[in-house]
Amino acid sequence: MLEIFQLLFGLVILLIGGEFLVRGAINFAKSLKVSPLVIGLTVVSFGTSAPELLVSLQAALNGSPDLAIGNVIGSNIANLALVLGLTVLILPMVVDKSSLFLNWLVMIIATLLFYVFSITNQEIVFWEGLILFSALLVYLLYFFFNSSKIESHSEIDDNKNDKLWLALIYFISGSVGLYYGAKVLVSSAEIIAIDVLGISEAVVGSTIVAFGTSLPELVASCVAAFRKQSGISIGNLIGSNIFNLLAVIGITSIITPVSVYETFLQFDFYWLIIISIIIGPILMLFKKVGRIIGFFLLLFYIAYILLVL
């Protein structure tokens, strides 16, 4: 009974945090006069990726590398299949294609780099983590220096002059709300899964924990879609996957070597690579991502979860 109450309480905090985070992102875009896609790819994705970073780092330090790796792989699959699928099922969206191909390409390269490092002795070590994190810094510097070249679309009302400090308050409040909401929800789900149902740590990492740490992306993307901020919504998902691969795995392996469970290499990685590849043509070829595509993405995620379990 207590776990159910915690689940509901965590969900409420997530919804409030998501609203604040998106509101802060919109104000950032207005104040800095950049595209919502850029804000989604950088500011919002950093905020929604914080749970993955904290969970993976804590898991690795506590001697649970399966949980750390499973969290990132499962979360990235959930972002592209579950989160995007549910978002467009609720509200189909027009995709902002400015710089979309480049960011999708960065996500593919980061995914393949993560896979190559993982199959090397089935462990990601200090120098590999340093390469991943350095790649993230180069990526961020490129976008901040080239943000003026990305057109700001009509999604943002330039007549409103919102203050940067107010955007920062919204963003910090939303990020904190998303983190604690996800933490409460995940902790109660872990107790039910491990103690009651007897599910293994690796499976919990790639399913329950991954879903829980993807909840900030889900809430933020849905709120952004309802506010007709498709640039923030799509940018958040692609950017969050890039952050998960380059920042979460990078920072974690810099601090401590991260072992990779063999099952991940034989199964989960293939699902991650497949969904990462097919999502690019879906977003770039279709003018509007509708419910049929959302249904297909949701089926992909359900198939993955069923096979994992």
For the segment 220-229, what is each residue's pLDDT rounded down to a tens digit? 777 777 777 6
pLDDT greater at residue 148 or residue 122: 122
Q: What is the pLDDT of residue 145?
A: 74
Averaging pLDDT over each range in 76-80, 139-143, 201-205, which range is the top one? Answer: 76-80
Element (H, E) at 167: helix 164-190
The stretch 204-232 carries a mean pLDDT of 69
In a domain, 185, yes or no: no
In a domain, 247, yes or no: yes
Q: What is the pLDDT of residue 162?
A: 53
Whether 246 has a pLDDT exceeding 90, the answer reads yes
In a domain, 265, yes or no: yes
| Token reading at 27 | 């104000």
pLDDT greater at residue 189 or residue 248: 248
Q: What is the pLDDT of residue 194?
A: 60
In a domain, 32, yes or no: no
| Token reading at 239 | 């950017």
Supply the pTM of this predicted model. Answer: 0.76
Backbone angles phi, psi at 300, to 5 degrees: -60, -45
In a domain, 28, yes or no: no
> Distance (Å, rounded) from C-alpha 5 to C-alpha 88?
29
Averaging pLDDT over each range in 86-90, 149-153, 192-196, which range is the top one? Answer: 86-90
Whether 236 has a pLDDT exceeding 60, the answer reads yes
Bridge partners (DSSP) of residue 276 are none
Q: What is the pairing mode between strands 258-259 and 123-124?
A: antiparallel
What residue numbers bound the domain in which 106 lies? 40-149+202-308
Assign residue 238 the CATH number of its domain: 1.20.1420.30
Whether 44 has a pLDDT exceeding 80, the answer reads no
pLDDT greater at residue 304 or residue 21: 304
Q: What is the pairing mode between strands 93-94 and 288-289?
A: antiparallel
40: nearest Cα among 21, 16, 62, 19: 21
Angle formed by the axes of helices 45-61 and 210-226, nearest 10°: 170
In a domain, 64, yes or no: yes
In a domain, 206, yes or no: yes
In a domain, 58, yes or no: yes
Count of domains forming the chain: 1
Averaging pLDDT over each range in 132-136, 184-188, 248-252, which range is the top one? Answer: 132-136
Bridge partners (DSSP) of residue 288 are 94
Whether 201 has a pLDDT exceeding 50, the answer reads yes
Position 7: which residue type? L
Q: What is the mean pLDDT of the chain?
A: 77
pLDDT greater at residue 191 or residue 274: 274
Q: Are 71 and 56 in contact (CB under 8 A)?
A: yes
Whether 157 has a pLDDT exceeding 60, the answer reads no
By mean pLDDT, which of 73-82, 167-176, 195-204, 220-229 is the weakest?
Answer: 195-204
